[in-house]
Amino acid sequence: MSTYDVAVIGSGPGGYVAAIRCAQLGMKTAIIEKYNTLGGTCLNVGCIPSKALLDSSHHYHDAITHFEEHGIEISGDVKANLEKMIARKQNVVDTNTSGIQYLMDKNKITVYNGVGSFKDATHINIAKADGKSEEIEAKNIIIATGSKPSTLPFIKLDKKRVITSTEALSLKEIPKHMVVIGGGVIGLELGQVYKRLGAEVSVIEYMDRIIPTMDASLSKELQKVLKKQGVKFYTKHKVTGVKTSAKEVTITADDKKGNPVEFKGDYCLVSVGRKPYTDGLGLEKAGVTLSERGQVEVNAHLRTNIATIYAIGDVVKGAMLAHKAEEEGVFVAETIAGQKPHIDYNLIPGVVYTWPEVAAVGKTEEELKEAGVNYKSGQFSMRALGRSRASGDIDGFVKILADATTDEVLGVHMVGARVADLIAEAVTAMEFRASAEDIARMSHAHPTYAEAVKEAALDATGKRALHS
Ligand code: FAD
Ligand code: NAD
C-alpha cells in the first residue's frame, strides 16, 4: 500500500492548490479526483467556462450594438454560432485542466482517478471507473470535495428543460425565453450570456433585490443596467411550482402582493445556491462530523473533529468562491507543515462577471449600519472618467466606505468596466489598513478606470474629488 504525508480528496481550486503547497513544503502528496479531468467545479463547469461564454457573448453583443458607434461597419449579418462558442469554451476548459495535470506532475504529486472514501481516519479507498479499487494510507487528509447545485424541494431538475449552471454551459440552442430562478451570481452571469445571444431572460428573485448579500447600491445599479439591456426582473417573488412538458416549462410564483403569477419559457435555470458535497465519502468511517447545513465542521485551523483530517473550500462554511478555497488550501498545507498562517475572511473579494462587472471587499453599508459603526462614504461615477468615455463603458461607480474618525477604509464597492481587476487595489489597501487619504494620495495612471478609485477616495476624505 502506498503511504503519503498528505492525501487530498478533490482536485478543485481548494484541493489542487493545497496539494501544490504541501509538495512545495516537502511533503509526499497524493490527490484523488473522481472525474477524469482535474480542476473541480471551477475549471470544468464553473468559473472558467462561464467566463469563456461571457467573453464570447460579449464580443457578439458588442458587434451588434456598439461597433457602429465606434465607426465599424459590418456588411452582412452578424450571427451567433452557439455550437462554436461552446466548442471554444470546451477548448479553454481542456487547456486549463491539462494545465493542472502539468502542475501535479511538476510538483511530483501522485494523481489517483477514482472516488475516494474513508476506510478509517488514515486510510482511503479509491474506487476506479474500471471497477477496480486501491487503498492508500496518509498521515494527514484534506477534504476538498466542493459543492453541487442545490434546488428547491418541489423542483425536479430534469437537466433538459429545468437546468442548473452545468447544463446552461453546454446548451445546444439559444433559448427563446430563459426563466431564471434566483438573482444571484450564477443567474445573472448566465442570464446575461443568453440575453446577449438573443434570448428573452426573466429573473425571479425571492428577496427584494438581486445579489442580495452585496451592498444594496450595487444591486440597484446592476439591476438598472441589466434592465436597460432587456433583462426582466421579478423581485420579492416566491416560486411555488415548476412544471415541464416536452418543450415548455411553466413556473408559478406568488408576486410581491401574494397574488399567483405564471411564467412560461423553454428553459428554466435554477440558480438558488449550491450545497456542500460529501456523498459517498464515508465520513462516518473516519468519525468526521457534519453541521446541520451539511458542511464538514471545522475549527479556526480548518481542522475537523479528527486532528489529522482537515477540510477546505465549498464543503466548509463561508463564501463559495474559488479564491477562498485556494487561500484555505495554502492555509491547511502550511498548518500541517507547522507554520502559523492567517486568512482575513473580511478581505476575500466578491465579483460578478456581468458587464458592467460588480466587485466588492470588506463591509457593506448595511453591515456598518447594523454594527453601529460611524462611517463616511465617498463615491465617483464611471461616466466622469475620460477612460470610460473613450471606451463607451459609462455605467457604474466606485464607492469607498471609511471610518469617520480614523479614515481607515472599511469597504469598497464597485460597478463598472473591469472592476473585477480594480478590486485588487482595494484588497491591497485594506490588507495594509490604508486610510482613504492614503489611496487618494497615490498616483493612478491616466486614463484608467482605476482613477475612479482615487476619486472616490478623495470624495471620502473630504469631498474633494477633482473631476466631479
Ligand atoms: P470544487 O471545485 O467543487 O472541487 C471539488 C472536487 O472534488 C470535484 O472535482 C469533485 O469531482 C471532487 N470530488 C468530490 N467528491 C469526491 C470523492 N469522494 N472522491 C474524489 N473526488 C471527489 N468562484 C469564483 O471565485 N469565481 C467565479 O467566477 C466563479 N464562477 C462560478 C461559476 C459557476 C457556474 C459555478 C457553478 C461556480 C463558480 N464559482 C466561482 C464557484 C467556484 O467554482 C467554487 O467556489 C470552487 O470551485 C470551490 O472549489 P473547491 O475546491 O472547494 O471544490
Ligand atoms: P447565490 O447564493 O449567489 O444566489 C442565489 C440567489 O437565489 C439569491 O439571490 C437568493 O436570494 C435566491 N433564492 C434563493 N431561494 C430562492 C427562491 N426560492 N426563489 C427565488 N430566489 C431564490 O447562488 P448561485 O447564483 O446559485 O451561485 C452558487 C455559488 O456559486 C455562490 O455561492 C457563488 O459564490 C458561486 N459563484 C460565484 C461566481 C463568481 O464569483 N463570479 C459565479 C458563479 C457562482
321 touches ligand 2 (CB under 6 Å): yes
Per the CB < 8 A criterion, the answer to whether 4 and 137 are in contact is yes
Percent of the chain surpassing pLDDT 70: 100
Neighbours of 135 (CB within 10 A): 11
Predicted confidence at residue 230, as pLDDT, reads 97
C-alpha dist (Å) from residue 188 to 82, 155, 181, 248: 19, 20, 10, 22
Bridge pairing between strands 357-362 and 350-352: antiparallel
Give 303's pLDDT tier (boundaries 50, 70, 90): very high
Q: What CA–CA distance (Å, rounded) separates 439 from 428?
A: 10
Which residue is associated with the grid cell 454551459?
169
Mutate which of 186, 222, 269, 271 for ligand 2 pocket (most atoms within 8 A of beta carbon): 186
Residue 85 C-alpha cell reads as 462558442
pLDDT of residue 414: 98
Residue nearest to atom 8 of ligand 1 (CA): 40
**Amino acid in the structure at residue 122:** T
Distance 407 CA to ligand 1 centre (A): 38
Give the pairing type, strands 123-127 and 177-181: unpaired
Q: What's the CA gap between 137 and 147, in Å, rounded? A: 25
Ligand 1 pocket residues where CB is under 6 Å: 9-15, 32-35, 40-42, 46-47, 50, 115-116, 144-147, 165, 186, 277, 280-281, 313-315, 320-323, 325, 353
3-state helix, strand, coil in the chain (%, to 5): 35, 25, 40
Residue 332 belongs to what H/E stretch?
helix 322-336
pLDDT at 324: 99
Q: Which residues contact 427 (CB under 8 A, 6 or more apart)?
A: 347, 349, 361
Q: Which atom of ligand 2 is nearest to the CA of 47?
A: 42
Q: What is the pLDDT of residue 353?
A: 98
- The DSSP output letter for 172 is S
Mean pLDDT across the chain: 98
**Cα–Cα distance, 193 to 190 (Å, whole number):** 5
Nearest-angstrom CA–CA distance, 451 and 191: 30
Residue nearest atom 30 in ligand 1 by C-alpha distance: 47
The pLDDT tens digits for 305-335 are 999 999 999 999 999 999 999 999 999 999 9
Q: Is the pTM above the cut of 0.85?
A: yes
Atom 9 of ligand 1, nearest CA residue: 40
Upper half-sphere CA count for residue 456 (Cβ side, 13 Å): 28
> Does ligand 2 have an atom closer than 6 angstroms to the CB of 183?
yes
- Ligand 1, atom 6, lies closest to the CA of 10
Atom of ligand 2 nearest to the CA of 321: 34
What pLDDT, in 10s, does the model give residues 187-224? Answer: 999 999 999 999 999 999 999 999 999 999 999 999 99
Q: How confident is the model at residue 161 (pLDDT cuts 50, 70, 90)?
A: very high
Matching residue, cell 511538476 = 106
Count the neighbouring beta carbons within 10 Å of the beta carbon of residue 153: 4
How many whole angstroms from 187 Cα to the centroid of ligand 2?
A: 7
Write b or e for each residue in 54-77: b if 16 or more Cβ atoms lie within 10 A of its Cβ, otherwise e. bbbbbebbbeeeeeeeeeeeeeee
Minimal CA–CA distance to 323: which of 342, 305, 343?
343
* Cβ(271) – ligand 2 distance below 6 Å: yes
d(CA 342, CA 344): 7
Categorize the per-residue pLDDT at 381 as very low, low, confident or very high, splitting at 50, 70 and 90.
Answer: very high
pLDDT above 90 as % of the chain: 99
Query: How far apart (Å, rounded) are the C-alpha atoms in residues 17 and 330?
Result: 7
Mean pLDDT of 19-35: 98
CA of 341 to the centre of ligand 1 (A): 23
Tracing cell 463615491 back to the chain, one arrives at: 379
Position 301, amino acid: H
- Average pLDDT, integer, range 140-167: 98
- Distance, CA of 157 to CA of 160 (rounded, Å): 8
Which ligand is closest to the CA of 165, given by its number?
1
446 assigned to active site: yes
Q: What is the DSSP string of 205-271?
A: -SSSSSSTTS-HHHHHHHHHHHHHTT-EEETT-EEEEEEE-SS-EEEEEE-TTS-EEEEEESEEEE-
Q: How confident is the model at residue 448 (pLDDT cuts 50, 70, 90)?
A: very high
pLDDT, residue 93, reads 98
Q: How does pLDDT run across 333-343, given as a tens digit for each residue?
A: 999 999 999 99
Cis peptide before 447 (omega within 30 of 0): yes
Q: Quick check: 150 and 21 in contact, CB under 8 A?
A: no
Alpha carbon of 441 to ligand 1 centroid (Å): 40
- Amino acid 344: pLDDT: 98
Span 421-429, mean pLDDT? 98
CB atoms within 10 A of CB 379: 18
Q: Distance, CA 184 to ligand 2 centroid (Å)? A: 4
Centre of ligand 2 to C-alpha 188, Å, is 9
Among 8, 42, 320, name the best residue to mutate to test ligand 1's pocket (greatest count of ligand atoms within 8 A of Cβ).
42
Q: How far is the CA of 36 from the centre of ligand 1 (A)?
A: 15
Q: Which amino acid is at 183?
A: G
When pLDDT is averaged across residues 64-87 and rounded to a whole number, the result is: 96
Question: Residues 278, 279, 282, 288: is their CA dihedral positive or negative?
Answer: positive
Task: Give the residue among 149, 252, 246, 267 at the shortest CA–CA distance from 197.
Answer: 267
How many whole angstroms separate alpha carbon 295 and alpha carbon 311? 10
Whether ligand 2 lies within 6 angstroms of the CB of 182 is answered as yes
Closest to 228 (Cα-Cα) out of 61, 460, 52, 362? 61
